[in-house]
Amino acid sequence: MSLPHAILTALLEQPGSGAELARRFDKSFGFFWPATHQQIYRELAKLERDGMVRSTGRDASRGRAKDYTVLAAGRKELARWTLDRQEPRPVREELMIRLRASSVLGDVPITDELKRHLGLHRTQLATYLQLDQRGTWNDANRLQRAVLQAGIMFEQTWIEWAEQTLAAQPAAVTEHATSAPR
């Protein structure tokens, strides 16, 4: 996936300023493809230069935000990209390497970090479940909900794995992890 395509999608859903887009991005696309506000503004400038979006209405040089809308070329590019084939990407999770390192080293407990991650995933699951409950779901946005449900299922699976992994830790490792100095 690429950030420009996520931006085009977001602007087709609702045109707006860069600041509005960045705020909406944090609450939706950002769950699956995080981007800083600076990255979003850089991509907006490139998309405008490439004739994919147009800024309208307001003068940014006078401290007022530009509003962006998607042009026909942007819609065409997004349709082309949507139909492209892509192979699944391998998981790239640093915590998994840390767990392997802890296993190899044998005396470096990582239980506290695993518990911390478990808490973060529980929090993310709660956020997704709230979004799902607040949503008005129908045929028009069924794929949008499918993306949210994928996030819910991912978090549920991760939580189940982490709980099983923690439960399988020997008591000595768990005790060492809670009493080890930081």
Answer yes or no: do 17 and 74 share one domain.
yes
SS3 assignment, position 70 = strand
Q: Kindly state whether residue 26 falls inside one of the protein's structural domains.
A: yes
User: Within a domain: residue 177?
Assistant: no
Phi and psi angles of residue 88, each rounded to the nearest 5 degrees, phi first: -60, 140
CA 65 to centroid of chain Cα atoms: 25
The pLDDT of residue 58 = 62
CATH at 64: 1.10.10.10
Indicate whether 68 and 115 sit together in one domain: no
pLDDT band, residue 182 (cuts 50/70/90) = very low
- Containing structural domain, residue 163: 94-172
User: Does 132 lie in the same domain as 110?
Assistant: yes
Q: Per residue in 109-138, pLDDT tens?
A: 889 999 999 999 999 999 999 999 998 999
Quick one: pLDDT at residue 64? 65
Distance CA 76, CA 84 (A): 13
Q: What are phi and psi of 17, to 5 degrees?
A: -80, 170
pLDDT in tens, 10-47: 999 999 999 999 999 888 888 888 899 999 999 999 99
Same domain flag for 77 and 128: no
Tell me the longest C-alpha to C-alpha distance in the chain.
65
pLDDT tens-digit profile of 56-79?
A: 876 555 666 789 999 999 999 999
Label residue 115 exposed, middle or buried (CB < 10 Å: 0-12, 13-18, 19+).
Answer: middle
Classify residue 179: in a domain, yes or no.
Answer: no
Are both 77 and 105 inside the same structural domain?
A: no
